[in-house]
Amino acid sequence: MYKKTLIRMFSYLAAYRGRFVLSVVMALVYVLSSLYIPLLAGQAIDSLIGPGRVDFSLLTGRLAAILVTSLVCFLSQYILSRLNNTLVYSLSRNLRNDAFDKIGRLPFAYLDSHRQGDVVARVIGDVEQVADGLLLGFSQFLTAVLTIVLTIYYLFSLDWLMALVVILLSPLSLVVASFIARRTHKHFRKTAEKRSLQTDLTDEFITNTGEVICYNLQNQCQERFGRVNDEWAESSLKGTFYSSLVNPATRAVNSIVYACAALTGSLLVITGRMSVGGLTSALSYATQYTKPFNDITGVVTELQNALVCASRIFALLDEAEVEDRGTLELPHGPLSVSFRNVFFSYVSGQDLIRDFSLDIESGRHVAIVGPTGAGKSTIINLLMRYYDADSGTILIDGIPIGQLKLSSLRLSFGSVLQDSFIRRATVRENIAMGRSFTDDQIIAACQKAHVHNIIMNLENGYDTMLDDDEGLLSAGERQLIAIARCMVALPNLLILDEATSSIDTRTEGLIQSSFNEMTRGRTSFVVAHRLSTIRNADIILVMKDGDIVESGRHDELLARGGFYSELYHSQYAKAVGQGR
């Protein structure tokens, strides 16, 4: 069940093979020194020959040896602990980095079809569970196995009959532990699923607190949260309950083993086959031999949980990525765009775009309008290769987009979307977005976007730290930042998807001239609901149910009295009605 997951974990461990080998050596030194102490103690006891008869030279020698061995045991255990911590947390760091990097290479289809909280839980919570399980495994499993092997050697060196009694009875604890462990797996998996769902619900509530309060949905959200919380608690309780049975069950078996060993050893002492000191050492080894079985069973339970979480992480890492087989790059300057018989569907069998064909000359200003769900934003998603068409071809400057490097394709686009992204960085960094622009270029772009004065009123101007979750900027101000970000880059292709939806009409009018200047000579796509903003477009595409039902300039489309005319006049009538 866990074979493939374990192999993947060891592949991550290969990068730290030096530390791992040193960890094994330290574990061996620790176990050897800790097991040598009972043997020395037994010999020290045997130095007490009888009443008033003590071999002091032997006694002092063994006590000194115990002191030195204890010091070696302490130092090796300390080094082992440091090595294991470094090893595990370095491994989990790499695992988390790979998972986070993977998210950036996943297709939008995956991110759209999976809960955000589930993805976050895999990158953060599941990796933490893996680290905890591995740390326990490295700390206890290796030393436990070495202890079992070396204890057998020491027991046989004392008496073979005593060794057989301990060895034959001790595996009973493993049988008991494995029986219980098999029943805990399903509960740990369910716990991981409920944890990710709870993360998703919490994120959903915090992100949309305003809407929840506005519609008085607090009680419903609390009920939903409480229901998942109860299910999480139930699965956690069952998993913990079954796993907690392991320790007392194995301890009971170990007590029986110890009693049998003590009885056997006592008979051997009476017959003179074993000394009292030897019996003391043997009983100590009997205890130390059974203890690792407790450790192993505890580790197995934790490793089960860790491997369940690791399998979820690897499932994320194994997801198909966006294919970037392109080798060509787009030239600088105006670019033409063509759609040839494009079909596309988000859900298999439910076509949204059907046999879509269109040729757009370079430098043209294209507006896309239509009702919600008509496929306007889908055209943009296909252009940017956020999604790939089911069939047909999209060409930019005559090159199929599948033959273009993704980096070249996407850097050729500048976009201002309805929901503006603000990263945790300064205003300057949010506008530059990782590219090199001078302060003069950034300020000039902000002035054109009419956001310069807003920025200068912030506490530290362009050095003010922004965060999308903070209320430092309004939705309209964030959109102005996004417009400035696009204006400073001046890409070859522009996408304006409801770019002024959160901006007041006065500010929109002010920046319209800047938009006109920016789009001049560049192929641009404008998705708009407010039809008054696209009157000057070179061509307006009117979409309905995934098809272009009309195309032409504003005046031409109005004169036809078709679907565009209906849309335009319905907005005009609404505006007049609101004005009254």
Mean model confidence pLDDT for the chain = 81
How much is the pLDDT for 275?
A: 75
The CATH number that applies at residue 310 is 1.20.1560.10
> Do 265 and 404 belong to one domain?
no
Domain-terminating residue out of 283, 301, 317: 317
CA angle 329, 331, 333 (to 5 degrees): 150
How much is the pLDDT for 395?
A: 93
How much is the pLDDT for 577?
A: 44
Domain-terminating residue out of 296, 317, 338: 317
Mean pLDDT (whole number) for 207-217: 77
> Do 15 and 56 belong to one domain?
yes
| C-alpha–C-alpha distance, residues 91 and 86, integer Å | 8
How much is the pLDDT for 580?
A: 38
> Do 300 and 366 belong to one domain?
no
How much is the pLDDT for 273?
A: 78
Which percentage of the chain shows pLDDT scores above 70? 92
Side-chain-facing half-sphere of 122: CA atoms under 13 Å: 20
Q: Categorize the per-residue pLDDT at 462 as very low, low, confident or very high, splitting at 50, 70 and 90.
A: very high
How much is the pLDDT for 573?
A: 53
Domain-terminating residue out of 277, 299, 317: 317
Kind of pairing, strands 493-497 and 413-416? parallel
> Do 303 and 394 belong to one domain?
no
How much is the pLDDT for 338?
A: 92
How much is the pLDDT for 393?
A: 92
How much is the pLDDT for 256?
A: 78
How much is the pLDDT for 470?
A: 59
> Do 135 and 170 belong to one domain?
yes
How much is the pLDDT for 51?
A: 64
> Do 104 and 244 belong to one domain?
yes
The CATH number that applies at residue 573 is 3.40.50.300
Mean pLDDT (whole number) for 258-270: 77
Which percentage of the chain shows pLDDT scores above 90? 6
Residue type, 399: I
Q: Categorize the per-residue pLDDT at 578 as very low, low, confident or very high, splitting at 50, 70 and 90.
A: very low
Give the count of domains, the chain. 2
Q: Categorize the per-residue pLDDT at 210 as very low, low, confident or very high, splitting at 50, 70 and 90.
A: confident
Does residue 421 belong to any structural domain of this protein? no
Pair of tokens at residue 499: 């770019």
> Do 51 and 131 belong to one domain?
yes
How much is the pLDDT for 52?
A: 60
Q: Helix, strand, coil proportions of the chain in percent (round to 5)?
A: 65, 10, 20
> Do 302 and 333 belong to one domain?
no
Does residue 194 belong to any structural domain of this protein? yes
Does residue 12 belong to any structural domain of this protein? yes
DSSP state letter for 350? B
Task: Give the chain's largest Cα–Cα span.
Answer: 124
Residue type, 292: P
Does residue 11 belong to any structural domain of this protein? yes
> Do 238 and 291 belong to one domain?
yes
Mean pLDDT (whole number) for 45-61: 72
pTM flag (> 0.75): no
Mean pLDDT (whole number) for 198-216: 78
Does residue 431 belong to any structural domain of this protein? no
Render pLDDT for 520-531 as a digit per residue (tens, 0 to 9).
778 888 887 777
Does residue 333 belong to any structural domain of this protein? yes
Mean pLDDT (whole number) for 235-245: 75
> Do 334 and 197 belong to one domain?
no
Does residue 540 belong to any structural domain of this protein? yes
- Give the best-scoring range by mean pLDDT among 182-191, 297-306, 546-555: 546-555
Run of H or E including 48: strand 48-50
DSSP 463-493: G-EE-TTSSSS-HHHHHHHHHHHHHHH--SE
- Could you tell me which residues are beta bridge partners of residue 527? 368, 497
Closest residue by Cα to residue 232 from 190, 181, 183, 182: 190
- Could you tell me which residues are beta bridge partners of residue 543? 548
How much is the pLDDT for 579?
A: 43
> Do 212 and 328 belong to one domain?
no
Least confident of 228-237, 240-249, 432-441: 240-249
Render pLDDT for 67-115 as a digit per residue (tens, 0 to 9).
998 999 999 989 988 888 888 888 888 888 999 999 888 888 888 888 7
Helix axes 475-489, 439-448, angle to 10 degrees: 130
- Expressed as residue numbers, the domain containing 572 is 324-412+523-580
- Give the best-scoring range by mean pLDDT among 59-63, 159-163, 535-539, 558-562: 558-562
Render pLDDT for 469-513 as a digit per residue (tens, 0 to 9).
556 788 788 888 888 888 888 888 888 887 676 677 777 776 777
Helix intervals (H) in 159-245? 160-169, 172-207, 209-214, 218-244
How much is the pLDDT for 133?
A: 80
Render pLDDT for 122-173 as a digit per residue (tens, 0 to 9).
888 888 888 888 777 777 777 888 888 888 888 888 778 877 877 777 777 6
Does residue 423 belong to any structural domain of this protein? no
> Do 184 and 164 belong to one domain?
yes
DSSP state letter for 328? B
How much is the pLDDT for 156?
A: 82
